[in-house]
Structure formats: C-alpha cells, structure tokens
Amino acid sequence: MGLSNLGIFHTAIGLIAIGAALTAFVRYGKIDVGRISGKVYFYSTLVTSVTALGISKHGGFNAGHVFSLLIMILVLGAYLLHTRKAGLSRARYFENFLMSFSFFLSLLPTINETFTRVPVGHPLAKDINAPVIGRTLLFILILFVTGSVYQFRKQRTINRTARA
C-alpha cells in the first residue's frame, strides 16, 4: 500500500521527531523543551500528530487518530509545565513523564506501520498481530518504564541540589 503526499510528509516529519527525541535521550536523559532537540521534538511531534488526523488506512476516525490527539495533549501539557519553571520543581517530574510517554505512544503506530510495510514487498509482519510486533512493543515498554525510573531518580537529585 503506497503513501499519499500527506503520508509522505507525515512520515518525514515523524522521523525528525524520533531523531530529536533519541538525541535528547542520549544527550540529556530526557526530552527537555528548553533545549534545541526538545524544541524540535515538540514542534515536529505536533505537526506529525496533526497530519495523522488526515490519514486513514481503514477509513474514518480510528485508534490512530485517538493516539494523535492524546500525544498532542501530552506534549502541550509538558510544554505548559515547562513554561512554569519558577518554584515548581515537582512539575519537572510530570513534564519529563509526559514527554517520554508521548514518545512511547508515538512509537506504537510507528512500529506497526513500519513492520507491516518494510521491506517493500516482503514486510517483517503480515499484520499488527505478528509476534515480531508484539516482542518489539514489549521491548519498547520495558525501555519506557526503565527510562521513566531513571528520569525520576535523576530529577529527584536535581531537585535536591536546587534546594540546597
């Protein structure tokens, strides 16, 4: 199944968002909207989520559209928390979690779509119920939980240092 022009644009911007998030995680351990990688993630994720609303492989409003709306709410919520830095050190926990959770959620349809399309002609999975997709999603879930614990601990150290 080929991609529409909107689908191609959506995919390109989505790849930029994934690259920015991975860069942020490697460099800073979190997606920080105050840094370039975080800003790129924030804006490209919003564009990707909006364009996803115009895409429908199965016709009509579907689970992918719900994911897009939820991801928009998460990144906008994280941005709002980010803009309210003064005296809200506890807000950093939520900001970090919301950005990471938005990234995790964006990977679910990304993995499903990629594995059922690539390589062209002989995709890795026939449908979303394929074991390779399930194992990959489980691995991503484990990374998300582990990363969230790491971010919580790191933020706790930052907050304690700031109070001292």
Query: What is the span of the domain harbouring residue 128?
Result: 5-163
Q: Which residues does 103 contact at the CB level (< 8 Å), separation at least 6?
A: 21, 31, 41
The pLDDT profile of the chain, 164 residues, written as one tens digit per residue, is 578 899 999 999 999 999 999 999 999 999 999 999 999 999 999 999 999 999 876 678 888 899 999 999 999 999 999 988 766 678 899 999 999 999 999 999 999 999 999 998 899 999 999 999 999 999 999 999 999 999 999 999 988 887 76
Domain count, the chain: 1
